[in-house]
Amino acid sequence: MSGTAASKSVSASLTRTPAWRALVAHHRNWTERHLRDLFAADPQRFERFSLEAGGLLLDYSKNLITTETRDLLVQLSLERGLPDRVTALLAGKRVNQTEKRAAWHTALRSGDAAPREVRSTLAAMRVFADALRAGLLQGVTGQPIRNIVSLGIGGSALGPALVVRACAPDTASPRVHFVTTPGEPMTRLLATLDPATTLFIVQSKSFSTMETVRNAQAAKTWLLAGLQATDVGIHFAAVTANVEAAGAFGIAPERLFPMWDWVGGRYSVWSAVGLPAMIAMGSAAFDELLAGAGLMDRHFAEAPPERNMPMLMGLIGLWHHNFCGGASRAVISYEHGLALLPPYLQQLEMESLGKSVTQKGKTLRTGSGTVVWGGLGINAQHAYMQSLHQGTQLVPVDFIAACLPRYDRDTDTQAIILANCFAQSALLMQGVSADDIKRQLTAGGMDAKEAARLAPHQALPGNRPSNTLLLPSLTPHSLGALLALYEHRTFVKAAILDINAFDQYGVEHGKKLAGSLLPELNGKPPATTHDASTSALIRHALKNNGRKP
Ligand code: F6P
């Protein structure tokens, strides 16, 4: 079925499509299968279920799939009009139907083909970042800026903070810091900085997020007091779509870098939101980040579904979640520089896929986004990997590692890292049977009765799926490709489910309600009534923090 014809059938309810029904039947046969038997029966299984794109290797052979599974998932993608939806996304069409906007983050990394405002903003970012890195920008005392503090939250912080951690040298000058939470983190950071040499970048698409505005005000107070000045505007820059609010705050027009409504916060690291990262890593390296993402975009646009890395990851993710019962998904990196990848993907995936109605407003009849979590594998395997190996929940894992270390060429240590990564995914797949345990224990001299007693406790069930993504090494280019891969993986799931990946009303309500509670927590009389719990919690807090009305 062609993409066009398929898209006309996209209105058919997801669970009534022929492919979905075939997958339900197909899954019933899975209960007797074990991955270690599939590997034993097919020496070519790795070759059959792996591919390279954007410089990355994806080994998806350790997933609960056969070629029939893959074929049915590909058929589902066509029945749901995935190719046409991808074309619309990449062409900047209004795929965000509730807010009537495009979600054109791919335009931010399309080089010379990018819209004029993208290219001019990138040019302005380069001038600003290069001047800061050359020590050419001074504060009110004439001293060069040595510390940058990025004030933002969510998509206005997670992306740049991840990129800085992954790609910027520790000796970067100026040093770049990130503050999201008001209060203690801000106070403690400012205590270590000199106002004369510090510049703040207020990163907020709305320029109204309570936490960020609070931090911006604290920064201004700190500067005015510390510099005994009346105008500290040159110690600020802003990345925002709300030019008026930024101007009212006192940020000069030449220090304003635009955000556009066709770029979602969690998809914005490629835009001016990436400015702190460009300052820390340099504009040439930031260009490499964009290039890596652009390479993955072209792969996503051109590769057929059965050879398309984001499509396969999205479709297999749907198979594991909606058919195999994987309620959460772990992203476990054996590359230290990716320590901030899990929180970044939590926002990307859970704010995009955490929905319960379709684009047409109908209740979704199947699971949407999974809970995403994870961490650094070298620590995980001494902690929660126990649960993934012997627990009762199916938790599909994405393992991510690099062939070469990021900084030095200590390949001996890297061998230890990789051995652990590969061991974890192999054990999840093959397990260790009770019979194998008994053989091992008795071979070691244990009597058969004791070995039989211990075997159930030491056996690993296996048959637990994982992907392994191998980067050549962690560079701006490979990071760009990796992040674009996950953006597109997220879109693939949303397209199959026919949900809007680009709005986030669930978090907008929270922002509003918090604003309405604030006056009471500042000791003012209640403006509205609340549920008994909220009212009691406010009273208790006021009683214990001296702000009783
Ligand atoms: O509350 C959710 C959210 O709007 C995210 O989507 C966004 O990345 C974050 O808050 C910050 O919003 P802003 O950039 O407008 O401060």
The string of pLDDT tens digits covering residues 260-287 is 999 999 999 999 999 999 999 999 999 9
Q: How many Cα atoms sit within 13 Å of 14 on the Cβ side?
A: 23
Is the same domain home to 58 and 124?
A: no
196 and 172 part of one domain: yes
Residue 161 CA to residue 276 CA, distance in Å, equals 8
Find out whether the beta carbon of 507 lies less than 6 Å from any atom of ligand 1.
yes
Q: With 60 as the cut, is the pLDDT of residue 10 above it?
A: no
Range 359-363 contact pairs with CB under 8 angstroms and sequence separation of 24 or more: 359/97, 359/498, 359/499, 359/500, 360/11, 360/498
User: How remote is the CA of residue 240 from the centroid of ligand 1, in Å?
Assistant: 11
Same domain, 263 and 137: yes
Q: Return d(Cα 435, Cα 192) in angstroms, integer.
A: 59
Give the integer Cα–Cα distance in Å for 437 and 4.
54
- Do both 137 and 72 map to the same domain? no
Same domain as 401, residue 326: yes
Name which of 11-25, 231-245, 291-305 the model is least confident about: 11-25
- The first and second tokens of residue 320, run together, are 């594991």
Q: 255: which 2 tokens?
A: 């220090």
Give residue 546 CA to ligand 1 midpoint distance, Å.
32
Mutate to test the pocket of ligand 1, among 96, 99, 105, 153 (most ligand atoms within 8 A of CB): 153
The answer to whether the CB of 180 is under 6 A from ligand 1 is no
Q: How many separate domains does the chain show? A: 3
**Can you tell me the distance from the alpha carbon of 124 to that of 255, in angstroms, rounded to the nearest whole number?**
9
- In-domain check, residue 453: no
* pLDDT tens sequence across 407-437: 888 899 999 999 999 999 999 999 999 999 9
Give the pLDDT score at 367: 94
In this structure, the answer to whether residues 321 and 284 fall within a common structural domain is no
Q: Are strands 56-59 and 50-53 parallel, antiparallel or unpaired?
A: antiparallel
Among 232, 261, 288, residue at a domain's last position:
288
What would the mean pLDDT of 517-521 be, rounded to a whole number?
A: 92
Average the pLDDT over 56-77 and give the result: 98
- In this predicted structure, the answer to whether residue 64 has a pLDDT above a threshold of 90 is yes
- The angle, 0 to 180 degrees and rounded to 10, between the axes of the packed helices 476-497 and 309-318 is 50
Mutate to test the pocket of ligand 1, among 243, 269, 504 (most ligand atoms within 8 A of CB): 504
The answer to whether the CB of 154 is under 6 A from ligand 1 is yes
266 Cα nearest atom in ligand 1: 8
Does residue 297 lie in a domain region? no
Per-residue pLDDT, 8:
45
State which ligand 1 atom lies nearest to the alpha carbon of 152. Answer: 16
Atom of ligand 1 nearest to the CA of 212: 16
Same-domain status, 115 and 222:
yes
Task: Provide the residue range defining the domain that includes 164.
Answer: 105-288
Residues 6+ apart with CB under 8 A from 323: 23, 24, 27
| Residue 511 Cβ contacting ligand 1 at under 6 Å | yes
Report the nearest-CA residue for atom 1 of ligand 1. 507
- Pairwise CA distance, residues 235 & 251, whole Å: 9
Domain boundary among 237, 260, 288: 288
Angle at 280 between CA 239 and CA 182, to 5 degrees: 55
First to last CA, the chain: 68
294 has pLDDT over 60: yes
Give the DSSP letter of residue 136. -
In a domain, 241, yes or no: yes
346 lines ligand 1 (CB under 6 A): no
Contact 332, 400 (CB under 8 A): yes
Q: Is the CB of 215 under 6 A from ligand 1?
A: no
Q: How confident is the model at residue 5 (pLDDT cuts 50, 70, 90)?
A: very low
User: Closest Cα partner for 82 from 312, 238, 381?
Assistant: 312
Q: Just list the catalytic residues.
A: 351, 382, 511
Atom number in ligand 1 closest to CA 157: 8
Distance in angstroms (rounded) separating the CA atoms of residues 341 and 542 = 38
Residue 42 belongs to some domain of the structure: yes
The whole-number average pLDDT for the span 304-329 is 96
**CA 62/CA 52 separation, integer angstroms:** 16
Q: How far is the CA of 512 from the centre of ligand 1 (A)?
A: 13
Q: How far is the CA of 274 from the centre of ligand 1 (A)?
A: 15
Q: How many CB atoms lie within 10 A of CB 221?
A: 12
- Nearest-angstrom CA–CA distance, 329 and 341: 13
> 3-state DSSP helix/strand/coil percent for the chain, to nearest 5?
55, 10, 30
* CATH number of 38's domain: 3.40.50.10490
Q: Is residue 153 assigned to a domain?
A: yes
pLDDT tier, 13 (very low <50, low <70, confident <90, very high otherwise): confident
Note whether 277 and 310 are same-domain residues: no
pLDDT in tens, 79-129: 999 999 999 999 999 999 999 999 999 999 999 999 999 999 999 999 999
Phi, psi of 116 (to 5 degrees): -55, -45
Ligand 1 binding pocket includes 333 (Cβ within 6 Å): no
For residues 211 and 180, the answer to whether their CB atoms sit within 8 Å is yes
Asked whether 168 and 281 are in contact (CB, 8 A), the reply is: yes
Could you tell me if 131 and 236 lie in one domain? yes
- Tell me if 295 is assigned to some domain: no
Residue 251 phi, psi (nearest 5): -95, 130
Residue 180, phi then psi, degrees to nearest 5: -110, -50
pLDDT at 111: 95
Taking CA atoms only, the protein residue closest to ligand 1 atom 6 is 265
Instruction: Answer whether residue 457 is part of any domain.
Output: no
Indicate which residue's Cα is closest to atom 13 of ligand 1: 204
175 forms bridges with which residues in the sheet? 147
Q: Provide CB contacts within 8 A for 373, sequence distance 6+.
A: 328, 329, 330, 331, 342, 346
- Taking only Cα atoms into account, the Rg of the chain, rounded to an integer number of angstroms, comes to 26
Quote the ligand 1 centre to 203 CA distance (angstroms).
Answer: 10
Q: Say if residue 74 is in the same domain as residue 115.
A: no
Tell me if 155 CB under 6 Å of ligand 1.
yes
CB of 205 within 6 A of ligand 1: the answer is: yes
> Are the C-beta atoms of residues 78 and 6 closer than 8 Å to each other?
yes
Taking 60 as the threshold, does the pLDDT of residue 385 lie above it? yes
Report pLDDT for 130.
97
Cα(156) to centroid(ligand 1), Å: 7
Task: Report the alpha-carbon angle 13-19-20, nearest 5.
Answer: 55
d(Cα 318, Cα 336) in Å, to the nearest integer? 28
**100 torsion bin: left (phi>0), alpha (psi -120 to 50), beta (else):** left
The mean-pLDDT minimum among 25-34, 420-429, 476-485, 530-539 falls in 25-34
| Residue minimizing CA distance to atom 9 of ligand 1 | 154
Q: Which atom number of ligand 1 is nearest to the Cα of residue 203?
A: 14
Q: Identify the bridge partners of residue 53 per DSSP, sorted by sequence position.
A: 56
What pTM did the predictor assign?
Answer: 0.96
d(CA 345, CA 303): 24
- Residue 245 CA to ligand 1 centre (angstroms): 16
* 197 and 259, same domain (yes or no): yes
Instruction: Identify residue 407 by its one-letter amino acid code.
Output: Y
Q: 175-179 and 147-151: which strand pairing? A: parallel
The whole-angstrom distance between residue 503's C-alpha and the CA centroid of its chain comes to 16
95: CA distance to ligand 1 center in Å?
A: 19
Is 357 in the same domain as 482? yes
216, burial (CB in 10 Å: exposed 0-12, middle 13-18, buried 19+) = buried
Is residue 280 a part of any domain in this protein?
yes
Q: Is 265 near ligand 1, meaning CB less than 6 Å away? A: yes
Dist. CA 153 → ligand 1 center (Å) = 6
